[in-house]
Amino acid sequence: MIDRNQLRNIDWGLIGLLILNAAIGIAFIYSSSHYLPGNYALKQFFWFLAALAGLFVLLSINYRVLVAYSLYFYTVAIIILASVLLFGRLTAGTKSWIVLPFFQIQPSEITKILVILVLAHIFSSYTKSSLSLGHGLLSILVVGVPILLVGLQPDLGTALTYLPILLAVFVVVGLKKRTVIVLVILALLLGVLGWSVFLKQYQKERITTLLSPGKDPLGAGYQTIQSKIAIGSGGFLGKGFKKGTQSQLRFLPARHTDFIFSVIGEEFGFVGVVGTFLLYFLFLARLFQSVSKARDREGVFITYMVSVMIAFQFFVNVSMTIGLFPIAGVPLPLISYGGSSLIANFLAISLVINVRMRRFVNV
Amino acid sequence: MKKEKKIYEDLTPFQVKAQITLIFVAFLFLFLTFFLWKVQILDYTKYWRQSEANRIREIILPPQRGLIKDRNGEILATNVASFQVAIIRENSRDIDRSYQRIAQLLDLELPVLQERIDKYRFLPEFQPIVIKDNLELKEVSQVKARQEEFPELVIQAGPRRKYLYQTLAAHVIGYLQEISQIEIGESGRNRRLGDLVGKTGIEREYEHLLVGKEGRILEIVDSLGRRRGEISRVDPVPGQNIDLTLDFALQSKAEELLEGKEGAVVVLDPRTGEILALASFPTFDPNKFISRFSPEEWLTLLKDPEFPLENRAIRGLYAPGSIFKLTMALGALDSRVVNEWKTFYCTGSTRIYGHPFSCWFKGGHGSVNLSNAIKHSCNIYFYQVGKLMGIQEIAKYARMLGLGALTGIDLPGEKAGLVPDPEWKRRVRNEPWYPGETISVSIGQGPIQVTPLQMAAQTALIANRGTGIVPYLFRKNLTERKEAAHVDIQETVFEKVITGMWRSVNENGTGRAAMVQGLDVCGKTGSTQVVSTATAEKLGEDKKIVRTHSWFSGFAPKDDPEIVITILVEYGGMGGATAAPLAKEIFRLYRENHDR
């Protein structure tokens, strides 16, 4: 399993950055929820411990083995997603949760990792320099099925986070110009169709209020406005830990989950935001650099897809809090409260480390 | 591994793509940094203000309004605790649904509620608008219990005005109503819509003293409007108490006597001008106007044909009738048109300027001098005196004795009345003065108009032998009080007129019904025709309008007078029969209270 060499090759730097980001998360979860019942910070700490344990457990399994068996895991995950949809209980308006005796998990988060593994599997032996129609459709299918199931829950935010995985595949395999054009047209068509058929009224409102949040300050624009007020009123140095009026007085919605970045912005100001950016950039850079350390196609695909997925979520979340993107329910990876998301991201990064630490091993 | 793999496969193209992606990511970071620079540094002030406005709520602490007391410290107007519920529109997520739910919760009619809020729609969203006041405790707890559901509702506690004796001295005290937009502009003080202000009476006259200064709390609230802390607090300063000159016993008596009539009573102290009682009937209960939400009651009173809201004592305009004979007598003696021995012969009627004029006593008074003319209220005597004096002289003396001008009482809305003369007639009616009108005016008929208070003030001037008074209600208001002039008429002239008044009451004259044992009452009655004699005969005796207004004005004791009483009863009939007995009751009460 793991020998001494491999242990030495574990990317401790990346793990360090991971822990640092998670610690920041726990701190701001505490700041934005200490006055609420539920001990969110403590819970997140336990999730963090579980995620870290999961990360090391997963490291012990060679990623190639995981890739080889990925289709089975994937199939099981799809069945779980479908049954959640069929038998799941509505929680906060969606059927995205599996309620266990002591905690709830969102299978849609973990499924993302399996999608990545399956795609790595499919493309491990693909040697053409650009994407063929068959493989293109196959990868759309692999990503599309969970998107559809998650989208029906309806959890549009999580469904959205599947898209960068597909995008990463397209980029890394390479597309002909013609394919790009076809895809753009297809995306536009889907967009129009999605807008008129699939999106619910509140989702449409979220998008329209993005363009003019002031139009309906107490309705759909409320969250965006309160979030911008929180960040803007933080100024250069911020109002201080636990002193953000927007979050402490609950003007800010979803403070410890989707809008935790606004809490950072309010309480630690521009300095805090730029600090978070720097830390995150180091973290993402480390992830992207891992692509260069991969010694096979599986490794490349895994590391690249994980990197793009996390970067995408990060940018969507931050853009959302400052009113540049519709409020989509995408958490800030590693920082926002939420066990499923935290574990999923830790496991995804575990795969990256897995690839990296086995770069010298030729098994 | 299931299959053989090329270990050294060239993965460089992928690595390049990853590097390019990373550069793209770096650019995104840079872009977001610049954007946040704009939001957090450039637009900082704007967002900071918004966040402050979000969290700070100003609560106005209404001051205790000053109490209003009578001269012996009896509290007439006080404050009691009261709860009201207000809406903060800002805290409502769906305002139209809110209205419906609130209307249901508070048992209000939706249109009434909406109209109410509509009235204040231009106020900032965070300012509470009172939508129901004088809540019962049950309603308060109902709102409190459902605060989570109704974050837009707040319960405000505050003092509420209460008039302890309901209708007592209602016209003097006045009442409160919500401030109007115009009054806010005029006040210059920090008043706002929704405040209650004195609309009439003492409440209005001394609003600036009574109101006090409001306090305010700046407090921190969360997004549900729940209080989280306090930033600053300025306590309210209670308003000043107003000690009135009114005497509770005399005021009660005056109102009791007027019960069921329309009229006014003024009782004052001629030595100072202190008003001891000032009553007007019909009256009203000012407690009923304080609520913002039952204007119907008020509107009903406004439309009442008997005008219960009008303070007849200072705003009712009546011909003075025979009381004006005192003015005439003073003028005639002073201008030496007649002396006290001069007599005229009364046969009950006479012709002057070709018109018939009659005395009220059809049988005639025979030969009458000044003293008898006052005692018997002989019309013929004063017709002759008036003819001799002429309208200009009459008007001059009427004005000298305070008619046609405000007495200066510290109540809003006092009317000045009218002293007619040819100049006035030309100006207002564009007609010449007819000599016959002079004869009518000589007995206080015709266009001449006075208020009961003016009559009381003139009576005080007579009682003081020429020293006028400015009647007042607020005892401590010495600095603002105007000095009334001393009229330039010899004291002996007053003595002669006063003798006539004394005889009218004490020697079986027209004022005999006002006689009180042991108190030298001097007085004069009056009966004012409301319609002409001819019209009266046409209408017949049963019509109320046919009856004369009944006057009495007098003072006591004859030497060193202490009290002046003026009474007017609309359509009361003869002054001697209706007004004088009422005066007697008050004189008697005064005497009893002062003998003790």
Q: Are A249 and B54 a contacting pair at CB < 8 A?
A: yes
Closest to B171 in 3D by CA, of B314, B311, B317, B316: B311
pLDDT in tens, A18-51: 999 999 999 999 998 888 877 899 999 999 999 9
Beta-carbon-side half-sphere exposure of residue A243 (alpha carbons within 13 Å): 10
Whether residue A363 is contained in a domain is answered as no
Q: Are A235 and B39 a contacting pair at CB < 8 A?
A: no
Measured between CA atoms, the residue of chain B closest to residue A280 is: B29
Q: How many domains does chain A have?
A: 1
Q: Where are the alpha helices (DSSP H) in B293-421?
A: 295-303, 312-315, 324-334, 370-376, 379-389, 391-400
Whether residue A24 is contained in a domain is answered as yes
Closest to A245 in 3D by CA, of B336, B57, B459: B57
Closest to A351 in 3D by CA, of A301, A311, A292, A281: A301
Please give the structure tokens belonging to residue B146. Answer: 């459902």
Among A171, A226, A235, beta carbon nearest to B44: A235
Whether residue A184 is contained in a domain is answered as yes
> Please, are residues B384 and B390 in contact by the beta-carbon 8 Å criterion?
no
Amino acid sitting at position B169? A
> Please, are residues B126 and B57 in contact by the beta-carbon 8 Å criterion?
yes
Whether residue A1 is contained in a domain is answered as no
Whether residue A158 is contained in a domain is answered as yes
For an interface test with A, the pick among B8, B14, B44, B231 (most A C-beta atoms closer than 10 Å) comes out as: B14
Q: Are A285 and B18 a contacting pair at CB < 8 A?
A: no
Q: What residues in A contact B22, CB-CB < 8 Å?
A: 284-285, 288-289
Parallel, antiparallel, or unpaired: how do β-strands B242-243 and B68-69 relate? parallel
Active-site positions of B read: 322
DSSP string, A95-159: ---EE-SS-EE-HHHHHHHHHHHHHHHHHTT---SS--HHHHHHHHHHHHHHHHHHHTTT-HHHH
Superfamily of the domain at B248-282+310-595: DD-peptidase/beta-lactamase superfamily (3.40.710.10)
Domain that includes residue A16, residue range: 7-357
| Alpha-carbon distance B194 to nearest alpha carbon in chain A (angstroms) | 26
What's the helix, strand, coil split of chain B in %, to 5? Answer: 40, 20, 40
b/e burial code for range A130-152 (CB count within 10 A of at least 16 → b): ebeeebbeebbebbebbbebbbe
How many of the other CB atoms lie within 10 Å of CB of B464?
22
Tell me if chain B has a CB within 8 Å of the CB of A135.
Answer: no
Q: Are B39 and A232 a contacting pair at CB < 8 A?
A: yes
Q: Are A289 and B44 a contacting pair at CB < 8 A?
A: no
Among A234, A250, A304, beta carbon nearest to B40: A234
Q: Are B55 and A249 a contacting pair at CB < 8 A?
A: yes
Residue B64, burial from CB neighbour count under 10 angstroms (0-12, 13-18, 19+): middle
| Alpha-carbon distance B29 to nearest alpha carbon in chain A (angstroms) | 7
Contacts of A60-64 with CB under 8 Å at 24 or more apart are: A60/A1, A60/A2, A61/A1, A61/A354, A62/A354, A62/A358, A62/A363, A63/A298, A63/A299, A63/A302, A63/A351, A63/A354, A63/A355, A63/A358, A64/A296, A64/A298, A64/A358, A64/A363, A64/B1
- Which range, of A179-188, A233-242, A304-313, A341-350, averages the lowest pLDDT? A179-188
Q: Are A251 and B223 a contacting pair at CB < 8 A?
A: yes
Closest to B61 in 3D by CA, of B228, B239, B236: B236
Q: What's the CA dihedral at B300, B302, B304, B305 to 10 degrees?
A: -160
The Cα–Cα gap between B13 and B20 comes to 11
Q: Give A203's contacts (C-beta < 8 A, 6+ positions apart).
A: A156, A326
Among A64, A232, A294, beta carbon nearest to B43: A232
> Please, are residues A219 and A300 in contact by the beta-carbon 8 Å criterion?
no
Q: What is the mean pLDDT of residues A183-192?
A: 84
Closest to A121 in 3D by CA, of B15, B18, B3, B9: B3
Measured between CA atoms, the residue of chain A closest to residue B4 is: A363
Q: Are A231 and B18 a contacting pair at CB < 8 A?
A: no
For an interface test with A, the pick among B51, B90, B94 (most A C-beta atoms closer than 10 Å) comes out as: B51
Among B21, B43, B54, beta carbon nearest to A288: B21
DSSP A198: I
The Cα–Cα gap between A273 and B99 comes to 42
Task: Tell me if the bond preceding B452 is cis, omega within 30° of 0.
Answer: no
Q: What residues in A contact B3, CB-CB < 8 Å?
A: 125
Beta-carbon-side half-sphere exposure of residue B481 (alpha carbons within 13 Å): 16
Name the segment(s) of chain B with CATH classification 3.90.1310.10: 57-243
Measured between CA atoms, the residue of chain A closest to residue B6 is: A296
pLDDT in tens, A234-247: 999 999 898 888 88
Measured between CA atoms, the residue of chain A closest to residue B30 is: A277
Q: Are B40 and A319 a contacting pair at CB < 8 A?
A: no
Q: What is the pLDDT of residue B300?
A: 78
The domain B57-243 having CATH identifier 3.40.50.2300: the answer here is no
> Please, are residues B56 and A289 in contact by the beta-carbon 8 Å criterion?
no
> Please, are residues B74 and B249 in contact by the beta-carbon 8 Å criterion?
no
Q: Which residue has the higher pLDDT, B188 or A114?
A: A114
Q: Are A300 and B47 a contacting pair at CB < 8 A?
A: no
pTM beyond 0.90: the answer is: no
Please give the structure tokens belonging to residue B487. Answer: 């009229």
DSSP B412: T
For an interface test with B, the pick among A123, A130, A251 (most B C-beta atoms closer than 10 Å) comes out as: A251
Measured between CA atoms, the residue of chain A closest to residue B93 is: A218
Q: What residues in B contact A230, CB-CB < 8 Å?
A: 51
Among A249, A307, A322, beta carbon nearest to B36: A322
Q: Where are the alpha helices (DSSP H) in chain A?
A: 4-9, 12-33, 40-59, 63-68, 70-87, 107-123, 133-151, 156-160, 163-173, 177-193, 201-211, 222-234, 245-248, 260-293, 297-321, 339-357
pLDDT in tens, A138-161: 999 999 999 998 888 878 788 889
Whether residue A2 is contained in a domain is answered as no
Interface of A with B in 163-222 (CB under 8 A): 171-172, 174, 218-219
Q: What angle do CA B350, B355, B358 make, to 5 degrees?
A: 35
Measured between CA atoms, the residue of chain A closest to residue B12 is: A292
pLDDT tens track, chain B, 596 positions: 444 455 556 788 889 999 999 999 999 999 999 999 999 999 999 998 888 877 777 777 888 899 999 999 999 999 888 888 888 887 777 777 888 888 888 888 888 788 878 777 766 676 778 888 888 888 888 888 888 888 888 888 877 889 999 889 999 999 888 777 777 766 655 676 677 888 889 999 999 899 888 888 888 777 666 777 787 888 989 999 999 999 999 999 999 999 988 999 999 999 989 999 999 988 988 887 776 655 666 777 777 777 888 899 999 999 999 999 999 999 999 999 998 899 999 998 888 888 888 888 888 899 999 999 999 999 999 999 999 999 999 999 999 999 999 998 999 999 999 999 999 999 988 999 998 899 999 999 989 999 999 999 999 999 999 999 999 999 875 655 566 678 889 999 999 999 999 999 999 889 999 999 889 999 999 988 876 666 656 655 555 666 789 999 999 899 999 999 999 999 888 888 889 999 999 999 999 888 65
Q: What is the pLDDT of residue B479?
A: 57
Whether residue A225 is contained in a domain is answered as yes
Residue the block writes with tokens 């009476």:
B201
Q: What is the pLDDT of residue B368?
A: 92
Tell me if chain B has a CB within 8 Å of the CB of A255.
Answer: no
Q: Are A250 and B93 a contacting pair at CB < 8 A?
A: no
CB contacts < 8 A (A, B):
140
Measured between CA atoms, the residue of chain A closest to residue B17 is: A172
Q: What residues in A contact B2, CB-CB < 8 Å?
A: 68
The Cα–Cα gap between A23 and A43 comes to 13
Q: What residues in B contact A236, CB-CB < 8 Å?
A: 40-41, 44
Interface of A with B in 22-81 (CB under 8 A): 64, 68
Q: What residues in A contact B39, CB-CB < 8 Å?
A: 228, 231-232, 322
> Please, are residues A284 and B27 in contact by the beta-carbon 8 Å criterion?
no
Q: What's the CA dihedral at A334, A335, A336, A341 to 10 degrees?
A: 10
Residues β-bridged to residue B80: B160
Please give the structure tokens belonging to residue B491. Answer: 């004291």
Name the segment(s) of chain B with CATH classification 3.40.710.10: 248-282+310-595
- B452 to each of B42, B370, B412, B554, how far by Cα in Å? 72, 24, 16, 12
Q: What is the pLDDT of residue A212?
A: 56
Whether residue A14 is contained in a domain is answered as yes
Question: What are the backbone angles phi and psi of residue B344, rounded to the nearest 5°?
Answer: -125, 155
